[in-house]
Chains A and B, each alone.
Chain A
């Protein structure tokens, strides 16, 4: 699924949250969005998913402007997992995942056997099939995140967008979730905070003050100078003797 943004921007109450972002995501690619707090990562993600009203610039999905597609058509191709998912309804895990079928159903095309199979498959993909009959309210943070990803998978999207999916998860769940996302056969765009985790992406886009200041392969983008300028940290590159991978160690630079 090819997604392309052309001078994309968004203004809220005369404040420019995102301005002039142009980027292209290739089919099958995993693109990471990184940047300090308030740099516009989440807003950019929502703009790319067509969820914000009246953006400036355009987003092209397979060459078609998002603004010309119906919400339903977009939701059949792009699934979004937001940072916060809360409900007061007493839904079961299965109910939540079934929500993912919404864009494929209507009053005249009700939930059928095929939808049931897709939901079961999505639950299995995130390893939550044994908890399908559990109540959403009783799940832990990691389980909820996985169920939301299953919901997104049930949409059968070609592009998956995740907003800081590893937030509030313990280290095991962070890593298993990233592996899960990495193994999915879809194009992925995700906002990430942990720069070492961001190293696992195919490409990184760096946001600062609402602008995209760099975009490229992780080792090219995450230079010591850029980390100092944008994230205000002194970074030391280290080599993990176990597998030769590059890891960063950070020290705070006082402003």
Chain B
């Protein structure tokens, strides 16, 4: 008890953990750059990085340099941002809704984002990357609003919110299908279907510029409200009696979730299971307190999606499997395992 009086004693493990997390993330990103259809030796990757950052002037095949710098690195960074964003969204929703099943997919946020992005793509409103992301954000906000209003009308419990989320998801997915059937040509339809299943193929640097800041801001917002999320453990009323400004915290956190989900869905489509599985897995590793759960989930989500992307590129030679298929193939059994182990522990 007296040991902790020295602030350095508290700070040091936090700094150490932060460094460790950064090291793990850097390693995963390195793997994402090295592994691919054309395996690139570490020395080539290092040389390409050195050339790019310090103008080192080392001899690197320009094709290799192009693959590393224009293709694999942005793709890996966006995978990291998406994984972190989706995992954080799951953490926040599970805390606020107090339901283990809550994640952006179940609550219809992703479906809304998908419908919004498709509407912009097909109807050509706005256009461009910002247009599609803006459409996704509008769709996600609308979907969450619809779900929240429906849940409130149904009595306002956490079970009602999940049921309303299922209804909302169905509604917005149907809207997406309707838009595609009505307005898209065959080529567009194929592209959209592929994108909806989760796809990092087309990712370039502009996507990184959008995904990375959103993930970082979302992470900081979640970390800022970590203690407030703890206070929701015993419900909204208990949080209020602990001095948490409930409305403001809910608004900020749901805003962050909507922003993260909408951005990630607009960039890479629907990738399921990350928001659901990663937070649960991390609860077993670091416990339920959000000061640890938030960074752990962000890191695990980022690493998980980078690895899933590698698998999606390598699974079938010459063909990219949608990353959503990979996360579900890994996530579903992984989740089942967690459930069963959890049962034994109790």
Task: Please give the residue numbers on chain A whose beta carbons come within 8 Å of chain B beta carbons, in ascending order.
Answer: 46, 49, 51, 70-76, 78-80, 82, 85-91, 95-96, 99-100, 102-103, 105-107, 110, 112-113, 116-117, 120, 137, 155
Other contacts beyond A71-B243, A87-B235, A155-B242: 5, CB < 8 A: A74-B243, A99-B231, A102-B244, A112-B4, A112-B10
- Cβ–Cβ < 8 Å partners of B231 in chain A: 99, 102
23 A-B residue pairs with CB within 8 Å: A46-B237, A49-B241, A71-B246, A80-B241, A85-B234, A86-B234, A87-B235, A88-B98, A90-B287, A95-B288, A96-B233, A99-B230, A99-B233, A102-B227, A102-B244, A103-B242, A103-B243, A106-B227, A107-B224, A107-B226, A107-B227, A112-B7, A117-B1
Given A71-B243, A80-B241, CB of A113 within 8 Å of CB of B289: no
- Cβ–Cβ < 8 Å partners of A110 in chain B: 10
Assess the A102–B230 pair: CB atoms within 8 A: yes
Assess the B224–A71 pair: CB atoms within 8 A: no
- Cβ–Cβ < 8 Å partners of B5 in chain A: 113
Assess the B242–A116 pair: CB atoms within 8 A: no
**Scoring B residues 92 to 113 as 1 if CB is less than 8 Å from chain A, else 0, what string do you get?**
0000001110000000000000
Question: When chains A and B are docked, how far (Å) is the Cα of A246 from the Cα of B150?
Answer: 54
B contact face: mostly helix, strand, loop, or mixed: helix
B124 interface hit (Cβ, 8 Å)? no
Question: When chains A and B are docked, how far (Å) is the Cα of A110 from the Cα of B289?
Answer: 14
B329 interface hit (Cβ, 8 Å)? no
Question: When chains A and B are docked, how far (Å) is the Cα of A133 from the Cα of B100?
Answer: 23
Which of B10, B98, B238 is close to A82, meaning CB atoms less than 8 Å apart?
Answer: B238
Interface size for B (C-beta < 8 A) is 33
Question: When chains A and B are docked, how far (Å) is the Cα of A79 from the Cα of B238?
Answer: 10
Which of A76, A82, A86, A113 is close to B243, meaning CB atoms less than 8 Å apart?
Answer: A76
B240 interface hit (Cβ, 8 Å)? yes
Given A88-B98, A99-B231, CB of A116 within 8 Å of CB of B1: yes
Q: How far is the CB of B220 from chain A (nearest CB, A)?
A: 10
- Cβ–Cβ < 8 Å partners of A120 in chain B: 1
- Cβ–Cβ < 8 Å partners of A91 in chain B: 233, 288
Question: When chains A and B are docked, how far (Å) is the Cα of A113 from the Cα of B6?
Answer: 9
- Cβ–Cβ < 8 Å partners of B99 in chain A: 88
Question: When chains A and B are docked, how far (Å) is the Cα of A99 from the Cα of B229?
Answer: 10
Assess the B242–A87 pair: CB atoms within 8 A: no
Given A91-B233, A102-B231, A155-B242, CB of A113 within 8 Å of CB of B4: yes
Q: How far is the CB of A211 from chain B (nearest CB, A)?
A: 24
Question: When chains A and B are docked, how far (Å) is the Cα of A65 from the Cα of B224?
Answer: 29
Assess the B227–A105 pair: CB atoms within 8 A: yes
CB-CB nearest in chain A for B236: A51
Interface centre among A89, A96, A103, A117 (most CB of B within 10 A): A89
Assess the A116–B283 pair: CB atoms within 8 A: no
Question: When chains A and B are docked, how far (Å) is the Cα of A75 from the Cα of B237?
Answer: 12
B346 interface hit (Cβ, 8 Å)? yes
CB-CB nearest in chain A for B290: A89
Given A85-B234, A99-B231, CB of A75 within 8 Å of CB of B289: no
- Cβ–Cβ < 8 Å partners of B246 in chain A: 71
- Cβ–Cβ < 8 Å partners of A106 in chain B: 227
- Cβ–Cβ < 8 Å partners of B242 in chain A: 75, 99-100, 102-103, 155
- Cβ–Cβ < 8 Å partners of A113 in chain B: 1-2, 4-5
- Cβ–Cβ < 8 Å partners of B325 in chain A: none
B245 interface hit (Cβ, 8 Å)? yes
B223 interface hit (Cβ, 8 Å)? yes
Assess the A71–B240 pair: CB atoms within 8 A: yes
Given A95-B288, A95-B289, A113-B2, CB of A79 within 8 Å of CB of B241: yes
- Cβ–Cβ < 8 Å partners of A72 in chain B: 243, 245
- Cβ–Cβ < 8 Å partners of B10 in chain A: 110, 112
- Cβ–Cβ < 8 Å partners of A90 in chain B: 283, 287-288
- Cβ–Cβ < 8 Å partners of A155 in chain B: 242
CB-CB nearest in chain B for A49: B241
- Cβ–Cβ < 8 Å partners of A96 in chain B: 233
- Cβ–Cβ < 8 Å partners of B224 in chain A: 107
Q: How far is the CB of A3 from chain B (nearest CB, A)?
A: 15
- Cβ–Cβ < 8 Å partners of B240 in chain A: 51, 71
Question: When chains A and B are docked, how far (Å) is the Cα of A96 from the Cα of B238?
Answer: 12
